[in-house]
């Protein structure tokens, strides 16, 4: 690779799509599963553009559905690389919908996908380093560092936590749950 570093801006990608009646759920709003499919597509495109390789989704770290999307609205998704590791990237995606009659824009979703770069043989491929060009990009990168640390701490907790301990089972009584073990 000739340039071992790339700017966040070099990863920027956006897509827009008009929401049709065929995209709705039973309540008449745009189905969250349809939006998730679009999110995965733009995460792939963003990661592949930045890395120059085929990329796969390793995890969907956060998906916050903030506002419903209506039929007839124009949905725009904006994605960029927020963090890079050796072969992985965290892609941040912002989803906005626009009422094309009134021009009103609302923030509908924020999502973070971890994507992994693959070479032709399907093994992990190194990604370029990331050039942070402004404080907003630094903030996003630092937030990813926190997100990674929280994930590691959660994994450690899962490994070490004793779910069958008498104290643990007794502490569940304060919740709306009944433990009925065989």
Give backbone dihedrals phi and psi of 131, rounded to 5 degrees, phi first: -95, 120
Domains delineated in the chain: 5-174 (3.10.129.10)
pLDDT value of position 168: 87
pTM for the structure as a whole = 0.88
Q: How high is the mean pLDDT in each 10-residue block of the chain (182 residues)?
A: 83 97 95 97 98 97 94 98 97 98 97 97 96 97 96 86 85 90 82
Q: How is residue 139 written in tokens?
A: 């903030």
pLDDT value of position 155: 86
Distance CA 157, CA 82 (A): 26
pLDDT value of position 182: 78
Torsion angle of C-alpha atoms 70, 22, 24, 81, degrees rounded to 10: -70
Residues whose CB falls within 8 Å of the CB of residue 113, separated by 6 or more in sequence, listed in order? 39, 40, 43, 47, 57, 59, 60, 61, 90, 91, 93
The answer to whether 5 and 44 are in contact (CB under 8 A) is: no
Strand bridging mode 13-18 / 88-98: unpaired
Q: What is the number of alpha carbons within 13 Å of residue 34 lying toward its C-beta?
A: 17
Element of type H or E holding 59:
strand 54-65
pLDDT value of position 1: 46
State the maximum Cα–Cα separation within the chain, in Å, rounded to a whole number.
61
Give backbone dihedrals phi and psi of 138, rounded to 5 degrees, phi first: -65, -45
pLDDT value of position 123: 97
Strand partners, 93: 79, 111
Q: Is the dihedral of CA 131, 137, 138, 140 positive or negative?
A: negative
């Amino acid at each position: 690779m000739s340039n071992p570093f790339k700017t966040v801006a070099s990863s920027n990608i956006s897509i827009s799509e008009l929401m049709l009646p065929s995209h709705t759920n039973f309540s008449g709003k745009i189905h969250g599963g349809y939006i998730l499919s679009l999110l995965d597509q733009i995460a792939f495109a963003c990661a592949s553009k930045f890395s120059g390789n085929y990329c796969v989704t390793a995890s969907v770290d956060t998906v916050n559905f903030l506002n419903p999307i209506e039929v007839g609205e124009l949905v725009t998704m904006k994605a960029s690389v927020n963090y890079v590791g050796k072969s992985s990237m965290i892609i941040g995606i912002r989803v906005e919908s626009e009422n094309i009659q009134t021009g009103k824009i609302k923030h509908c979703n924020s999502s973070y996908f971890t994507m992994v770069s693959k070479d032709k043989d399907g093994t992990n491929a190194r990604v370029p380093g990331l050039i942070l060009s402004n404080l907003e990009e630094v903030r996003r990168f630092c937030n990813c560092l926190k997100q990674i640390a929280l994930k590691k701490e959660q994994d450690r907790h899962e490994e070490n936590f004793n779910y069958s301990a008498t104290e643990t089972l007794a502490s569940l009584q304060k919740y709306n749950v009944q433990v009925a073990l065989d």
